[in-house]
Structure 1
Amino acid sequence: MAFTLRQLRYFVAAAESGTVSGAALSLSISQSAVTEAIRDLEADLGVVLFNRHPRGLEITQKGHQFLRHAQGILAGVADARQAVASDSERLGGRLQVGVTSLVAGYVLSDILARFRRANPGVEVTALEENGDHLEHLLIGGELDVAVMVTSALRDRMALQAEILEVSPYQLWLPNGHPLAAAPSVSIGDLAGEPMIMLSLDEIEEATRTLLAAFGARPRVAFRTRSVEAVRSLVATGAGIALLPELVYRRWSLEGDRIVSRDVSATLPVVQVGVVWRRGAPLAPPARDFIRIAQSQQRR
């Protein structure tokens, strides 16, 4: 039996919510329908997509691999519908988007460009703010959607989030640093190294918490809200940095090389997602923005 688009939608909803009940709520269907669809999909594929536990669902490695393809298929179907829409079905109106500083130039710009191409009749305004304030604006109805770091989302009862990207932390080093050539790098190797801290979207707090968990105390050499400043400082040897992979680039603006290394420890990840007010009716521009954001995920 070939899998269906309905099974893919239910699977993606379960992967994003982490629970059958959460998927059922977002889809406005029964929990048994979600459970049955996932079971049939696993039987058709011959793999286990989720590990079940009392707290919900944990997606497996095979599930992660299939999720990318499922999201791509659903996005392709939505694109096909949009391509044949008549001029009378083209969207108009306004869309108010919020974004946090960390993801403004790395995630939002591509989504907005694609949205504007698909919906030239929609007036788009974007506001860059910190995560707490964006949550406040979403709950108050002053924003339609926001693209932001969702790892530290505070009001999960009032807000609904769809994860667009999961980005692990990496170690950034100047070219030629001894750790760049080491067979492996551990948290202990970072003790005493001057650290360049990025003070955006709880990144500094997460970095300090991470190092403290391993008994390492960061020696902060420089603190900045600019990712480009971190690149330049690391590349010129002023210090090292622990940052999400999504903002890594090999070169600084000055043309100096930056090396990234994985660290042999369980590092946290940064989740970036599109967020909107739970239970609120979404206007067509907001729904299409979410669809386009989903299809823009890194494969």
Structure 2
Amino acid sequence: MSTSFKSIRYFIAVAEAGSISAAIHELGVSQSVVSQAIAQIEADLGTLLFERRARGMALTHAGHQFLRHAHQIEVAMRNARDALASRPHTVTGHLNIGVTSLMVGYYLPFLLDRFRRVFPRITVQITEDRRDYLEHLLVSGELDVALIVVSQLQNHRALETETILRSGWRVWLPVNHRLVEETSIDSADLAQQSLVLLQVDELGDAATALWNTGGADPNVLIRTSSVEAVRSLVATGAGCSVLPDMLYRPWSLEGDRIEARSLAKPLAALDVGLAWRKGAAQPESLRNFLTAVRPTLDGHGLAAASHGAR
């Protein structure tokens, strides 16, 4: 028979009381039950936890070590009971979420749906703005959490972050473009092409870094804030683009195909994630939000969501 949680409770009681006889008054069980429980734990661990003395029991070195673990188990069990005893569908509150324009269509609906299914009575207010301004609102306490590109964060010391998706960059090409035959594309080759740049969430600035390192001047056809415009322009042969792979889909709205190829010198990956104020006591609504959405934060759920948004 393996160690039970009840046996661990008995062990803690004896360790704190200093004897079995003193502990059983608090536990309300017989001395033999407690003795058997401690013997079972010692057998499972393969070591003595107590020195038996005439006037009581003293913890061995191993006993002191196990006591720390036993307290942690006790706290974990108490937290689990509290969590299971609560009824999320009756919890009320208010949550302020910040989001950039790019994240609104790709990831926010998925996370918000997950949260509202678990905590339907918590009201949500959403603010859409630039990442730098959302950081300001987080630091000032006007927002509880923001869904942003965390790899471009400025206030690292003031904000906690949790990455939910990491995306590399690829070159988008029309299906009949000569560079489609290449497995990877150099910035020098791209410099000769008409470029369609997505100027949202500072993606245009990040893509420009490609030209800065390559020493070539880009031939920019247009800078736009519309992902669909980029897709349509690339698919119809107006130009090429360099974008995070999380935005890629093989077809434009008009049904024209888009190819994607790797960069010969990859750009730094883009991290999408959640950010909230560091060091402050978390509002209950924020804790509830993180509890609800964390099962999706391995990236698989978010990746599926982005494919659905395309």
Q: How much does 1:87 deviate?
A: 3.0
Alignment partners' CA distance in 2, 1:248 and 1:173: 11
| Corresponding position of 1:62 | none
- Aligned-residue identity in percent: 45
**Matched positions, count:** 220
Please, what TM-score do these two structures have when normalized by structure 1?
0.69
Alignment partners' CA distance in 2, 1:191 and 1:170: 15
Q: What one-letter code is carried by the residue in structure 2 that aligns with 1:130?
A: R
Q: How much does 1:88 deviate?
A: 7.3
| Corresponding position of 1:122 | 122
Q: What one-letter code is carried by the residue in structure 2 that aligns with 1:255?
A: G
Distance 1:81 1:296, change over 3 A: farther
Distance 1:102 1:235, change over 3 A: same
| Corresponding position of 2:232 | 232
Q: How much does 1:104 deviate?
A: 1.6
| Corresponding position of 1:178 | 178
Q: What one-letter code is carried by the residue in structure 1 that aligns with 2:116?
A: R
| Corresponding position of 1:290 | 290
Alignment partners' CA distance in 2, 1:95 and 1:155: 21
Alignment partners' CA distance in 2, 1:117 and 1:289: 11
Q: What one-letter code is carried by the residue in structure 1 that aligns with 2:255?
A: G
Alignment partners' CA distance in 1, 2:117 and 2:258: 34
Distance 1:126 1:262, change over 3 A: same
Q: How much does 1:82 deviate?
A: 10
| Corresponding position of 2:241 | 241
| Corresponding position of 2:201 | 201
Q: Describe the superposition over 1:60-110 as per-residue Cα deviations: whole angstroms up to 9, x where unpaired.
A: xxxxxxxxxxxxxxxxxxxx9899554378421011100011222112110
Q: How much does 1:219 deviate?
A: 0.4
2:221–2:239 contact (8 Å) kept in structure 1 = yes
Alignment partners' CA distance in 1, 2:99 and 2:150: 11
- Any residues of structure 2 matched to 1:259-270 within 5 Å, and which? 259-270=259-270
1:174–1:237 contact (8 Å) kept in structure 2 = yes
Distance 1:251 1:83, change over 3 A: farther
1:274–1:290 contact (8 Å) kept in structure 2 = no
Q: Describe the superposition over 1:168-204 as per-residue Cα deviations: whole angstroms up to 9, x where unpaired.
A: 1111111121111224322222121000011111111
Q: What one-letter code is carried by the residue in structure 1 that aligns with 2:121?
A: G
Q: What one-letter code is carried by the residue in structure 1 that aligns with 2:274?
A: V
2:134–2:146 contact (8 Å) kept in structure 1 = yes
Local SS of the residue matching 2:263:
coil
2:160–2:278 contact (8 Å) kept in structure 1 = yes
Alignment partners' CA distance in 1, 2:279 and 2:272: 21
Aligned-residue CA RMSD (Å) = 2.0
1:210–1:268 contact (8 Å) kept in structure 2 = no
Distance 1:183 1:147, change over 3 A: closer
| Corresponding position of 2:96 | 96
Alignment partners' CA distance in 1, 2:170 and 2:82: 38
Please, what TM-score do these two structures have when normalized by structure 2?
0.67
Local SS of the residue matching 1:112:
helix
Distance 1:157 1:184, change over 3 A: closer
Q: How much does 1:149 deviate?
A: 0.8
| Corresponding position of 1:280 | 280
Q: What one-letter code is carried by the residue in structure 2 that aligns with 1:112?
A: L
